[in-house]
Amino acid sequence: MKLGSTTTLIWHEAFENRDGVLYVDGASAMRLAEEFDTPLYVMSERRIRDNYRRLKEALTRHYSKVRIYYSAKANTNLSVLKILQTKGAWLDAVSPGEVFLAFKAGFSAERILFTGTSVRNNELKFLVDSNITINIDSLSQLKRLIKLHAPSLLSVRVNPGVGAGHHGHVTTGGKDSKFGIWEDDVVEAYKMAKKADVKKFGIQMHIGSGNLTVEPYLLAMEKLLHICHHVKSDVGMDFESIFFGSFLEKPKNLFSKPV
């Protein structure tokens, strides 16, 4: 982008090939390398904003009550976090360090969701003191959290029994996954939380990263909604939010353009 003497904004493509030279948001990669030396990581603010806009438009086309959570573990660069914060994104953190960076980037506590496994007691205390929404990953984590403080809003990560991903190492659902509470224990988790005087509830799943087809994801979504109905009937509570985690690799079946 260039700002001329007439204050006219001239927009370029995010990435351009100009006579064999790569330009990023109108800036020459050669010039950037000369100025800042290499190796150098350059990101396009325009592409980040454009991708967020297209994703939001696709998800809200038929249903408006949608929140987009950015997974901080993908990139915790403060500039990236600040861009997404200004676009209205929410944030999913998996460590206290990511929560700290989210606050530094301007995210309010209500827009941060923590989803972590094997969380220490001092980490739980930091999360409680930060007043963010915690997505508990196990019954033992829930018991330790309640001893510290029963939050007004609590979410539960459920293993829907479905796992998928571009590699077994990034599959986070199914019978061989260590993540999430099994369906047989979900009702007990919500009963424990309700007994501890938790007032509002959420539920979440994450079956894996880089899914190559949409079918496992849709199956897991259907399974999670079935679990929601089961919990509501048995425990007698409603859900404030339902989080559909995971992501698809080049989701052409869902969006008109790659996101």
Check if the beta carbon of residue 158 is closer than 8 Å to that of residue 207: no
What's the confidence (pLDDT) of residue 216? 79
- Asked if the model's pLDDT at residue 228 lies above 80, the reply is yes
- What is the fold, at CATH topology level, of the domain defined by 45-244? TIM Barrel (3.20.20)
User: What's the pTM value of the predicted model, to 2 decimals?
Assistant: 0.76
Q: Write the pLDDT tens digit of every residue in 26-82.
A: 999 999 999 999 999 999 999 999 999 999 999 999 988 888 999 998 999 999 999
Q: Write the pLDDT tens digit of every residue in 103-146.
A: 999 999 999 999 888 889 999 999 999 999 888 889 999 999 99
The pLDDT confidence band at residue 211, using thresholds 50, 70 and 90, is low
Report how far residue 255's alpha carbon sits from residue 259's, in angstroms, rounded to the nearest whole number: 7
What's the confidence (pLDDT) of residue 215? 80
The pLDDT confidence band at residue 12, using thresholds 50, 70 and 90, is low
The 3-class secondary structure across the chain, one letter per residue, is CEECCCCCEECCCCEEEECCEEEECCEEHHHHHHHHCCCCCCCCHHHHHHHHHHHHHHHCCCCCCCCCEEEHHHCCCHHHHHHHHHHCCEEEECCHHHHHHHHHCCCCHHHEEEECCCCCHHHHHHHHHHCCEEEECCHHHHHHHHHHCCCCEEEEEEECCCCCCCCHHHECCCCCCCCCEEHHHHHHHHHHHHHCCCCEEEEEECCECCECCCHHHHHHHHHHHHHHHHHHHHHCCCCCEEEECCCECCCCCCCCCCC
Q: Write the pLDDT tens digit of every residue in 164-175.
A: 667 777 666 667
The pLDDT confidence band at residue 181, using thresholds 50, 70 and 90, is confident
Residue range(s) in the chain whose domain bears CATH number 3.20.20.10: 45-244
